[in-house]
Amino acid sequence: MPKKPLLEFTDRGIYCAQGKFYIDPWKSVDDAVITHAHADHAYFGHKQYLAHHLSREVMLYRLGEINLRTIEYGETVNKNGVQISMYPAGHVIGSAQIRVEYKGEVWVVSGDYKTEDDGISTPFEPVKCHHFISECTFGMPVYTWKPQAQIFADVNNWWRTNLQNGVATIVVGYSLGKAQRILQNLDLDNGKVYTHGVIENTNEALRRNGVILNPTERITFDSSKEEVRKGIILAPPSSVGTPWMRKFAPYSFGYCSGWMAIRGAKRRRAADRGIVLSDHADWNGLVSAIDATGCESVYLTHGYTASFSRYLNEIGFDAHEVHTLYGGEEEDAEASPQPSPEEREPKADMNDNASEVLSFGEDLGEATKEELS
């Protein structure tokens, strides 16, 4: 009888039968190991959670009272004889790759990752393994990122130009990850940074976690529009086109996303500026990260899985496509924000009843998309 793999893909998520735990499950389970706090990876409703220290406050803020244990990078936890440890994924603050080892067999689940050091998330570290479960959100060769120093030099220049022209500057990026990355790279000599409530809540959670962020000021009903217009506004994607945003007119708004690399996607967003900035690895980042693991086989969970696995097989990897609910196939995973509690209804949280009526591959993703529209 062939040996059962250490990790398998089930309709609840990635499962380790030996260790009796799931990684980033999308239906209720007893024991969940979480790569990072974005909503398509950290769902509500599990009995217990294991995550990285720096995800702690954000997860408590987003998921409420949960039974959460957190560990450091490199620390090992033993579950039923299976060794679990976490390594930096460089995606957002507190994002981890999960390394799972049993009897000398090593699997690594990447979660989401990027290979460039963004100066705020602990930089990505390749981990040697036999089997690598990788994302490939931007697994097409048309996606190659510029160094972030260059991107932020452009952003700061654009902000200065707007100040000269007397128009407000609004930068849109989602609340966990992109918002802090932008915040840490703005030229504060230009002015103050003002935040939408959704972003400021996340900032506060991170500060409670000991993360040192640049100073920000929450926009409230009392904020002086004139003062805010002299600074820069950080806003989540859900605010685009809302009355909240329009009250800062005249403004120029920039949308930060890897999808902005394509002119068509940029035009669809109707942003004044498409800022090509992503927390996912680009094409070269993906290929080099997979190569660096020295893995025997690689499983691709979300993104351009079909094309990317075909390419990897052609250049000598043993690559497979698997279907999960992370991001969704070729989906606008990044441009559609991960909803934070303020942005979603309780119905987005899963429950077993809802899951039963929906077939595999279309349940929560749909719900998330629906409520955002």
Judged by CB under 8 A, which of 16, 29, 127, 261 binds another protein? 261
Q: Is 240 in the site for another protein (CB under 8 A)?
A: no
Q: Is 268 in the site for another protein (CB under 8 A)?
A: yes
Judged by CB under 8 A, which of 1, 142, 149, 357 binds another protein? 142
With contacts defined by CB under 8 A, how many residues of the chain interact with another protein? 33
Q: At CA 288, angle to CA 283 and CA 293, rounded to 5?
A: 135
Question: Between 70 and 137, whose beta carbon lies closer to another protein?
Answer: 137
Question: Between 69 and 268, whose beta carbon lies closer to another protein?
Answer: 268
Judged by CB under 8 A, which of 166, 264, 316, 346 binds another protein? 264
- Specify the amino acid at residue 2: P
Q: Is 149 in the site for another protein (CB under 8 A)?
A: no
Q: At CA 167, angle to CA 166 and CA 168, rounded to 5?
A: 125
Taking contact as CB under 8 A, which single stretch among the options 85-93, 169-177, 291-299, 325-333 is the one that binds another protein? 325-333
Judged by CB under 8 A, which of 43, 124, 304, 326 binds another protein? 304
CB of 252 to another protein, least distance (A): 8
Q: List binders of another protein among 122-141 (CB under 8 A).
A: 140-141
Q: Is 331 in the site for another protein (CB under 8 A)?
A: yes
Q: Is 373 in the site for another protein (CB under 8 A)?
A: yes
Question: Between 67 and 161, whose beta carbon lies closer to another protein?
Answer: 161
Judged by CB under 8 A, which of 12, 330, 354, 355 binds another protein? 330
CB of 132 to another protein, least distance (A): 21
Q: Is 263 in the site for another protein (CB under 8 A)?
A: yes
Residues lying near another protein in the complex (CB under 8 A) are found at 140-142, 144, 252, 261-268, 270-274, 304, 307, 310-311, 314, 328-332, 361-362, 366, 369, 373
